[in-house]
Structure 1
């Protein structure tokens, strides 16, 4: 579990995060949503340890990040997998080399052990025949699956995804959502997803944290979001006619 208590983050005189308290549970897909400028990207970077913060704390399974030594922080980072918005693959490396990169950085495994692990995770994301391809030869959906394979190659306890469906068509987005949820459940990872995709919210939002103007405005699940009377949430989630219709159908079926 990742626990966040009274988190404050400012840049100069501008306070971005204003006392956020929440937690992200193991084995669940936890989504952070909100409009541009709500603070969700800054929040994600604080969770990753990329930004310091002025007040509050973040604890990974009881270990408070700010109190860890440099060596302990490095060990913790070895337990974190990250899927970047643009996949962030190395253009000069093959797909297999991209996936192997974290193993070389964080482990002392032999070459054969690393190759076995790369083979395993590429098969897990249905890319068992893509080892020698270059990223430029892969579609956007394939690149995201490579990024997921690289993120889980170290058997992480924590998986962070920044807009994993950005730039993908709706059908491929569903494939990526389902893959992330399957991996989260299968390996019982704490998965945190920064997303603006309402299809993802409705499909895999087992825990949803909605930010507005740096505050935690609401939290719940894909089921309870249908029932909320919080107008900030409903205005954001049901901004399209499609989701307004879905909400009406849900309310009518459960009256």
Structure 2
């Protein structure tokens, strides 16, 4: 579990995060949504430890990142998995080498052990027999699955995804959503996703945190978001006619 307690983050005179408190549970997919400039990316980077809040704390299963010593921080980093918006695969490395990269960086496993682990996670994301392919030979959806395999190869406790469906067609986006949710539940990972994809919100949002102007303006589940009368959420989520109709149908049940 991750507990966020009244965090503030500024860059110069720009006060980006203004006292956000929330929590994210293990085995659940939690989504961060909001308009551009709301503070979503800065919030995610704070959760990752890439930004340090000036005020407030972030607890990971009771441990506060800023209070960890060097050895504890090294161990903690091995518990984090990250799926970047553009997959961020190494173009010169094949699929197998991309997935093994974190194991080479952070473990003392033998080459055989690393290969066994890579094959295991590649099978889990339905990419058997793709080991020797280069990223350029893969579709966008396959690249994203390689990125997910690399993110879970260290068996992380926490998984962070930045716009995992960016650039993907609707059907592939659904496959990626379902894969992330399945892995989250299967391995009891605390998963936090930064997204603009409202289909993801409706389909896999065990918890949704809506940010506006650096503040937590609303939080709830995908079911609760259908019923909310929070004007900011309604205006943001239900801006399209399709989602307006879905919401109205839900309210009429």
Asked if TM exceeds 0.5, the reply is yes
- Partner residue in 1 for 2:206: 206
Report the Cα offset of residue 52 of structure 1: 1.4
SS at match of 1:171: helix
Which aligned pairs between 1:101-120 and structure 2 lie closer than 5 A?
A: 101-120=101-120
CA deviation digits over 1:90-122, x for unaligned, max 9? 001000000000111111111111100000000
- Partner residue in 2 for 1:97: 97
Report the Cα offset of residue 70 of structure 1: 1.7
SS at match of 2:222: coil
Report the Cα offset of residue 218 of structure 1: 0.2
SS at match of 1:16: strand
Report the Cα offset of residue 14 of structure 1: 1.0
**C-alpha separation between the residues in 2 aligned to 1:17 and 1:186?**
32
**C-alpha separation between the residues in 1 aligned to 2:155 and 2:88?**
20
Which aligned pairs between 1:77-226 and structure 2 lie closer than 5 A?
A: 77-226=77-226
**C-alpha separation between the residues in 2 aligned to 1:229 and 1:78?**
41
Q: Does 1:72 align with 2:72?
A: yes
Q: Give the TM-score normalised by the residue count of structure 2.
A: 0.99
In structure 2, list runs of 5 or more residues that go unmatched: none
Report the Cα offset of residue 88 of structure 1: 0.2
CA deviation digits over 1:185-205, x for unaligned, max 9? 000000000000000000100
SS at match of 1:19: strand
SS at match of 2:180: helix
In structure 1, list runs of 5 or more residues that go unmatched: none
Report the Cα offset of residue 232 of structure 1: 0.2
Report the Cα offset of residue 53 of structure 1: 1.3
- Partner residue in 1 for 2:246: 246
**C-alpha separation between the residues in 2 aligned to 1:178 and 1:164?**
12
**C-alpha separation between the residues in 2 aligned to 1:65 and 1:174?**
33
**C-alpha separation between the residues in 1 aligned to 2:138 and 2:69?**
40
- Partner residue in 2 for 1:12: 12
- Partner residue in 1 for 2:43: 43
SS at match of 1:184: helix
Q: Does 1:23 align with 2:23?
A: yes
Q: CA RMSD in A?
A: 0.5
SS at match of 2:88: coil
Report the Cα offset of residue 131 of structure 1: 0.2
Q: Give the TM-score normalised by the residue count of structure 1.
A: 0.99
Report the Cα offset of residue 45 of structure 1: 0.3
